[in-house]
Structure 1
Amino acid sequence: MSRGDAAARRLYAWEDREVAPRDASRVPYARLQALIDHVWAAEGLRWPPRLRPLPPQARMTVARATRLAIEAPPVLPSWILLHELAHAMTSTADGLNEGHGPRFVGLYLQLLVRHARMPEAALAASLRQAGIPFEAGARPVFLA
């Protein structure tokens, strides 16, 4: 998750306003892979992405993900991990992804509701109010 991505600024502002205040939990690196594995399995998926340390030169990046790997710092807010898992679910093994498009936002919303116990109706309404499109009932790209 890089704060420099112009296409995602509206989503990041929404997260800062609606998501971060609802979840102050922080997960140490040593526990992240177990959480990744748990969420992936709970979503009915196999072969979760592997955790890797975020390279020190990635100074403007909070975390990042592909279908095969999630790179994270020593401690990560759990909602950011769910954001990165939504990226992994909307990416293919060959590196194609949709960025922060409607499928990504739809999956992210589902993960926030199921795994962070956030209120679906309130989050969906706030996404609509912010003008952020999302695909209700979105599924991982590799299952579609």
Structure 2
Amino acid sequence: MSREDAAARRLYAWEDRVVAPRDTSLVPFAQLQALVDHVWAAEGLRFPPRVRPLPRQARRTVARATRLAIEAPPELPSWVLLHELAHAMTSTAEGESAGHGPAFVGLYLGLLVRHARMPEAELVASLRTAGIDIDLAARPAFLG
């Protein structure tokens, strides 16, 4: 198992335990782009990624993101969309990505606090308990 695989598994377990129970909302595909545009602008960013359908052959993938696109199913939990937006923010147009590392976690945490109104102190404490590193000063990768 690679280091990234282990980090991803820890993060996914943390999300299942801490994040998912706090946000059970589902966003229909038709509304995803508007939500992406809103969050992107609220974060002071320009040129949001485009939302497109997740390919049918991606059976084990919930959603995925790059700097330029977010692929999603017919409906998506809003916290998963925030997860994918953090991936878009920690990726470059050239395909470089922070994976599920500390910069990703820091940006994702901020999105959960600001856009899903989750309690920052509790999330930070639970991340630390789970052994997940956080860069609280993380900035989108493409801002330099």
Same fold per TM (> 0.5)? yes
Q: Measure how far apart 1:137 and its partner are.
A: 2.1
Tell whether the 8 Å contact from 2:48 to 2:68 is kept in structure 1 after alignment.
Answer: yes
SS at match of 2:125: helix
Aligned to 1:81: 81
Structure 1 residues not aligned, in runs of 5+: none
Aligned to 2:142: 142
Aligned to 2:110: 110
Q: Following the alignment from structure 1 to structure 2, what is the Cα–Cα distance between the partners of residues 118 and 107?
A: 14
TM-score, L = length of structure 1 = 0.95
Q: Following the alignment from structure 2 to structure 1, what is the Cα–Cα distance between the partners of residues 137 and 124?
A: 12
Q: Measure how far apart 1:115 and its partner are.
A: 0.1
Aligned to 2:14: 14
The one-letter code of the counterpart of 1:25 is: S
Q: Measure how far apart 1:40 and its partner are.
A: 0.1
Aligned to 2:57: 57
The one-letter code of the counterpart of 1:116 is: A
Moved over 4 A (4+): none
Please give the per-residue CA displacement for 1:44-65, whole angstroms capped at 9, x wherever unaligned: 0000000010000000100000
Q: Measure how far apart 1:98 and its partner are.
A: 1.2
Aligned to 2:44: 44
Question: Which runs of structure 2 are paired with 1:89-128 in the superposition (5 Å)?
Answer: 89-128=89-128
Structure 2 residues not aligned, in runs of 5+: none
Q: What's the C-alpha RMSD, in Å, of the aligned pairs?
A: 0.8
Q: Measure how far apart 1:6 and its partner are.
A: 4.6
Q: Following the alignment from structure 2 to structure 1, what is the Cα–Cα distance between the partners of residues 105 and 6?
A: 16
Please give the per-residue CA displacement for 1:115-136, whole angstroms capped at 9, x wherever unaligned: 0000000000000000000101
SS at match of 1:94: coil
SS at match of 1:106: helix
Q: Measure how far apart 1:138 and its partner are.
A: 1.1
